[in-house]
Structure 1
Amino acid sequence: MKSRDTLIRLRRFQVDEKRRRVTQIEVMMAEFHRMAVELDREVAQEEARAGISDTAHFAYPTYARAAAARRDNMRQSAIALEGQLSEAKAELGEAFEDLKKVEILDDRERSVERAADAQREQAAMDAIGLSRARA
């Protein structure tokens, strides 16, 4: 009984850890996307300020070029995290399946124990009824 409870707690902890990892990756991806949008806005502002939007132009703003490079790095990082996210979601699914298997096994064992307890209780009641009937 105690080992089952410990196993269930362990599986729940593992599911929670996997869920946290998925959430953490999703938050990081959202943050990268937000920062890329902000850098897009800054590049557009800098290009508007300079009046030059051609990146090959000799007078293209240095800040806009650097911001565009950072934006591209953010997007690449977000794309790289997509693979980690799918892997983390798969691990979460497996951990959840393991938890459900253990919980189902625990439910079955508990129902067997309850049935045995009910059978013992019924036998005790039958014995009381028989002893009263004899008396």
Structure 2
Amino acid sequence: MSLIMKSRDTLLRLKRFQVDEKRRHVTQIESMVAEFHRMATDLDREIQQEQERSGITDVAHYAYPTYAKAAMTRRDNLLRSADELKGQLDAARDDLAEAFEELKKLELLDERDASRERAEENAREQAAMDEIGLQGRARA
């Protein structure tokens, strides 16, 4: 195997690793966004339960439950964080797509070179067989 092929194999492994890392990063952000939304939904449910217990749904009412107010603030913060993560998610997906494109280009280049090497090897083998055939005819 030539030095070029070895370095290309190393580069392919590196690119595959980078794609896998970027894929894991995207998955991690997606999980965080989903978890924040799940937590916000749970808080919505708790807020509603607290309002039903107290019989007060007007947030401006002097006796509105303190826990419900705190849960609303937490819910809003979670949703805001989820929205911010969506921006990061878009950027991470773009990075993943770019890394994937680079990997595919390198894989295509590697496949093209491997095909060329196989064709050259086949040509050498055929030339050797032709030479053997010519030597056999010359003796006859």
> TM-score, length-normalised on structure 2?
0.95
Name the % identity: 65
Which residue, out of 44, 49, 52, partners 1:48? Answer: 52
Please show how residues 21-100 of structure 1 align to structure 2 within 5 Å.
Answer: 21-100=25-104
Pairing 1:115–2:119 present:
yes
The two structures, once aligned, show a CA RMSD in angstroms of 0.4
Deviations 1:14-53 (A, max 9, x none): 0001000000000000000000000000000000000000
Cα offset, 1:59, TM superposition: 0.1
Number of aligned positions between the proteins: 135
Uncovered stretches (5+) of structure 1, i.e. residues with no partner = none
SS, match of residue 116 in structure 1: helix
Poorly superposed stretches of 4+, deviation over 4 Å? none
Cα offset, 1:131, TM superposition: 0.7
Cα offset, 1:134, TM superposition: 1.1
Distance 2:137 2:42 in 1: 88
